[in-house]
Amino acid sequence: MDQHHLNRLFTAEEINSIVKKLADQISRDYVGKELILVCILKGAFVFLSDLVRHLKIPVKIDFVRLASYGSGTKTTGRIEITKDLELPIEGKDVLIIEDIIDSGHTLKFLKDRIILSNPRSVKICALLDKKARRELEMEADYLGFDVEDVFIVGYGIDMNENYRNLPEIYYVTPTHHSKK
Ligand code: IMP
Ligand code: MG
């Protein structure tokens, strides 16, 4: 059986400090605006919940869930909404909250779709960015950390639905049964 090992990448303290920094920036930039955070389920739920508690401005919160169809872990660009927005966003300032930008297909799809509802603005806040994996032009307006092309788990982010509850961020490496 294949085993894998979790290697810590960011501690809870490092995460807390970057999340607070992002919240401070957002709080400054959206003063006097009608901010709606759109959290992409499931991976961004922990990030969102920490981020909102550091915000110093009024905010509304909504969730979307996206399904991407393709082989394995690769996002192919065929994406569907399986849980749509519930709040009206026309004329509002929308900030999409995402866990990781990888190929960029998920965010491109969601951003284009949100724009069809005529919000006043649409921006992106991502905790992690794997720039080496990008297939489309897509940048976060607010970014926590750049990461290498590794598989990440923890802090809401999963591998086959596991590890979302871990308070720190890890990357996964394979381990093989060693000869004793
Ligand atoms: P994209 O459409 O290729 O940018 O894919 C982004 C989505 O893929 C993220 O929202 C994550 O849900 C998922 N994803 C990308 N990289 C990882 C990873 O390292 N661990 C877990 N999920 C990931
Ligand atoms: Mg995701």
Helix (H, G, I), strand (E, B) or coil at 33: coil
Residues whose CB is less than 8 angstroms from the CB of residue 119 and which lie 6 or more positions away in sequence, other chains included: 36, 89, 90, 91, 92, 93, 94
What is residue 91's predicted lDDT score, i.e. its pLDDT? 98
Ligand 1 binding pocket mutation candidate from 102, 127, 137 (most atoms within 8 A of CB): 102
From 77, 60, 125, 135, select the one nearest 97 (Cα to Cα).
125
Quote the percentage of the chain above a pLDDT of 90.
89
Q: Is the CB of 104 under 6 A from ligand 1?
A: yes
Q: Whole-prediction pTM value?
A: 0.94
Residues designated as active site: 102
Does residue 179 register a pLDDT over 90?
Answer: no
Ligand 1 binding pocket mutation candidate from 46, 81, 112, 157 (most atoms within 8 A of CB): 157
Mind listing the pLDDT tens digit for each residue in 65-81? 999 876 555 556 589 99
What is residue 180's predicted lDDT score, i.e. its pLDDT? 45
Q: How far is the CA of 179 from the centre of ligand 1 (A)?
A: 34
Does residue 10 register a pLDDT over 60?
Answer: yes
Question: Cα separation of 86 and 94, whole Å?
Answer: 13
CATH number corresponding to 11-149: 3.40.50.2020
Q: How far is the CA of 139 from the centre of ligand 1 (A)?
A: 15
Q: Are 129 and 145 in contact (CB under 8 A)?
A: yes
Mean residue pLDDT of the chain comes to 94
Residues whose CB is less than 8 angstroms from the CB of residue 157 and which lie 6 or more positions away in sequence, other chains included: 43, 99, 100, 128, 163, 164, 169
Q: Is the CB of 100 under 6 A from ligand 1?
A: yes
Give me the residue spans of the domains in the chain: 11-149
